[in-house]
Amino acid sequence: MTAAAPSAPIRVLLVEDNPGDTRLILEMLREAGEGHFELERVERLEHAFERLEGSGADVVLLDLGLPDSQGIETFHRAHEPVIQHAIERKHSEGAASLTNRGSR
C-alpha cells in the first residue's frame, strides 16, 4: 500500500472581530488536525474583500456581527464576492490543468 500524497492545508479566512471567539475557532481547528488548516483572520468585512482579491481562501468563516456590517446584511454583502472568487479560482485552476496536460 502506498501512502497518500500530503495535501495542502485548507486556507481558512476567519472574519471575526472578537479575540475570544477567534481563540475558540483556532482551538477547534487544531483539534481537527494539526497542519490541516491555515488560518488568517481579519476583523472587518471590507478587509475580507481585500484579502479575497489577493491570494484568496478555500473557506470563509463569517461573523454576522462585525464593526462594519451587522446581521443578515453581512451575509448578503459577502455572498456575491465570495461566490465570484470561488468561480474565478475554479476557472483559473481548470485553465492551469489544461495547460499542464498540453505540455506533457
Give me the tens of pLDDT residue by residue for the chain, a chain 104 residues long: 444 445 889 999 999 999 999 999 999 999 998 889 999 999 999 999 999 888 788 899 999 999 999 999 998 888 876 777 677 766 666 555 444 444 45
Structural domain count of the chain: 1
Alpha helices in the chain (DSSP H): 19-32, 45-53, 72-102
pTM here is: 0.74
> Can you give the residue range of the structural domain that contains 68?
10-102
pLDDT of residue 35: 87
Per the CB < 8 A criterion, the answer to whether 16 and 49 are in contact is: no
Q: Supply the CATH number for residue 73's domain.
A: 3.40.50.2300
